[in-house]
Amino acid sequence: MSRIDELIKKRSKEEVQIKPLWELTIWDKKFNSVDRSCQTKINPHNYLLAAELRSLEVEGGNVKLLTTSISEIYTTEGLAGDNLKEGEIVSIPWGGNAIVQYYKGKYVTADNRIATSVDTSILDNKFLYYLLSNRQDEIASFYRGSGIKHPDMSKVLNMQIPVPPLEVQREIVRVMDHFTLLSAELSAELKARKKQYEYYREELLKFDSDADIYEIGEICTLSAGGDVPKDALSGAQTEEYPIPIISNGIGEKGFYGYTNTARVNEPCVTVAARGAGVGHVTYRDYPFFPIIRLVSVIPNEKINPKFLYYTMQRLKFEPTQGGIPQLTVPMISKYKISVPSMDKQMKIVNVLDNFESICSDLSIGLPAEIEARQKQYEYYRDKLLSFKEA
């Protein structure tokens, strides 16, 4: 920050000009809603359908396949053919949700709206990317339509953009790149840890003749969540209503409210039995009230609750097909699991608990570090990309 402050203090306020985006950028096509005087030059592209773009994907390619969402897929120059483009660009999708992307190099694009700086000695392309990323919510407000939404490009091109001195732009880009790289490295490390955790979980939960095989229903009591307790319901936890109400949502989305009586008091595993998260398992070691297609699986004395959780994480549930996918208590009851001695269960649980705490606990380890760096990035991004009009 001291370097940025020093650079800005050297310049008078008049050096930070505010200009419309159309004055600073060249786009991939002329837009009907934009005055022709605002688009005297364009950079034409060939656009591929999503399926066409994906069909070009190969391992080890050097040509970016620029989808309308965040992805890292590539092809070769030979496969790209006449669709090949090269440059330093910023893009937003023509249809769907507003996502700002940056790329420098050779690429083939889906139906994106693609911009590049008219003069990089005035506006740095990477600086433009960070500016537009910081205003992604504003860009999203320009998307309209009852089905697939499309951006009103007249509003996009009329956005007012600050243009500080190029030296300041580049220093801001350097700082933002540093935070972006750090977050990417931490995310990659977390991904590697999760793969390591999954590997050890699979290895630890492989058994030969030293484990018994049971259907879940033979060693557990299963029950489906009921209706919301409307006569005893609170949106906040209080002394009168201390018991969480849990639905089939995942994570925080599963918390529906609070009530005064628990239906499940023992440590158990819950299974989301319907919707997008169907088959998602969660370990719960607190009293709760299950509702709305949440199945509770309470183990008997033959199996440790946490061991049951790790074992059920490996199951590949097959929900009903057609309509909304769902699982039922009888379906879940029939899945078979291996159950070794209690002593071996506890040893496995201790090992996997350590891995899971590193990967998943938001109060320690990499996830907390990633969250802290993200907040730091957002703080500096907002601070560095705020300019006063000359």
| pLDDT profile of the chain (390 residues), mean per 10 | 57 68 97 93 95 93 95 95 97 94 97 97 96 93 90 96 88 85 80 81 78 94 92 91 92 90 95 90 95 94 95 92 88 94 92 78 67 76 63
Those residues with Cβ within 8 angstroms of residue 233's Cβ, 6 or more apart along the chain or in another chain: 241, 245, 257, 258, 259
Helix axes 365-384, 342-360, angle to 10 degrees: 10
**Total domain count for the chain?**
3
Which parts of the chain fold into alpha helices (H)?
Answer: 2-10, 21-24, 50-55, 77-80, 125-134, 136-140, 153-157, 166-204, 216-219, 305-313, 329-333, 342-360, 365-384
Please give the pLDDT value at position 13.
46
Please give the pLDDT value at position 390.
45
Please give the pLDDT value at position 362.
53
Are residues 200 and 250 located together in one domain of the fold?
Answer: no
Please give the pLDDT value at position 182.
80
Please give the pLDDT value at position 368.
74
Are residues 42 and 119 located together in one domain of the fold?
Answer: yes
Are residues 323 and 256 located together in one domain of the fold?
Answer: yes
pTM, rounded to two decimals: 0.63
End-to-end CA distance of the chain: 22
Tokens 């937003």, located at residue: 92
Please give the pLDDT value at position 5.
60
Are residues 202 and 243 located together in one domain of the fold?
Answer: no
Identify the sign of the CA torsion 360, 365, 371, 374: negative
Please give the pLDDT value at position 186.
79
Token pair, residue 34, equals 């934009």
Please give the pLDDT value at position 262.
94
Are residues 304 and 230 located together in one domain of the fold?
Answer: yes
Domain boundary residue among 143, 163, 183? 163
Domain at 28, CATH number: 3.90.220.20
Are residues 185 and 98 located together in one domain of the fold?
Answer: no
Helix axes 166-204, 125-134, angle to 10 degrees: 70
> For residue 269, what is the enclosing H or E element?
strand 268-272
Are residues 243 and 346 located together in one domain of the fold?
Answer: no
Are residues 294 and 230 located together in one domain of the fold?
Answer: yes
Are residues 58 and 152 located together in one domain of the fold?
Answer: yes
Nearest CA to 308 out of 246, 206, 220, 204 is that of 220
Are residues 66 and 147 located together in one domain of the fold?
Answer: yes
Give the separation between CA 153 and CA 148, rounded to whole angstroms: 15
Are residues 73 and 144 located together in one domain of the fold?
Answer: yes
Please give the pLDDT value at position 345.
93
Q: Whole domain around residue 48: which residue ranges?
A: 17-163
Are residues 217 and 352 located together in one domain of the fold?
Answer: no
